[in-house]
Amino acid sequence: MAQYSKNSLLDMLKALADDSRLTLLRLLNEGEHTVGELAGLLDLGEPTISHHLSKLRANGLVNLRMAGNQRFYRVNETGLQRFKRLAAEIEKNRPEPEPVQPDHEWITALGWSQADQKVLRDYTEGRKLTHLPSKRGKTQVILRWLATLFEPERLYNEAEVNVILKSVYEVDFVSLRRDLIDMGYLRREMGGGKYWRTMAKEID
């Protein structure tokens, strides 16, 4: 929006930022009125009405028509349309949000094959799983990545395992925990008290 347009809109908004002037504009939109008529309708003094009308006229929202000694005021349709057009430009000139670039650096840093990296890009967003693949090969890639979230040679209790898996996929972390065990990425001691990452599978 050009600077002159900004200033014109701001001046118009200032002129309308008054309950009496808004009421005057509505009345004048219905038909012509004299200062005396408007003063009676708004229960205000004529000097006050004249002051408000001068503000509206200065911003092109009201016109004056002389008939002998009588002064008739009415809405300036052209000025009102200009106000609407300028106000509409506020939305038109809204800056477009900067596109958010997906963070795939952590995937690249794994050093895996391009095919495996593509699986992670397809099923994650912001280091979180968006959904689970239906194909076994792609599921293996997801499980392999999940295993990297666990430190080698450290024992975890079940609550700690759940916290880690929920941080990437709250929908069904229990199934992920079971799959990690079934596919040999995690081991669990008898009774299920402790879990640890196995080195039997290629992970890194």
Residue 167: DSSP 8-state: T
Could you read off the pLDDT of 53-105 as tens digits, one per residue?
999 998 889 998 988 888 899 999 988 888 888 888 777 666 667 776 678 89
CB 36 within 8 A of CB 72: no
Q: Is the pLDDT of residue 160 over 90?
A: yes
Query: Mean pLDDT score of the chain, rounded to an integer?
Result: 87
Domains for the chain: give ranges and CATH numbers: 3-92 (1.10.10.10), 105-197 (no CATH)
The structure's pTM equals: 0.51
The better pLDDT of the pair 82, 202 is held by 82
Please state, in angstroms and rounded to a whole number, the distance separating the CA atoms of residues 119 and 114: 9
3-state secondary structure of 173: helix
Share of the chain above pLDDT 70, in %: 90
Position of tokens 């009201």?
A: 62
Could you read off the pLDDT of 96-141 as tens digits, one per residue?
677 766 788 999 999 999 999 999 999 999 899 999 999 999 999 9
Instruction: Give the closest residue to 145 by CA, choosing from 102, 187, 189, 183.
Output: 183
Mean pLDDT for 2-31 is 80
| Token pair of 145 as six digits | 């990545």
CB-CB neighbours of 62 under 10 Å? 24
pLDDT value at position 82?
87
- Poorest-pLDDT segment among 43-52, 152-161, 195-204: 195-204
Please state, in angstroms and rounded to a whole number, the distance separating the CA atoms of residues 60 and 80: 8
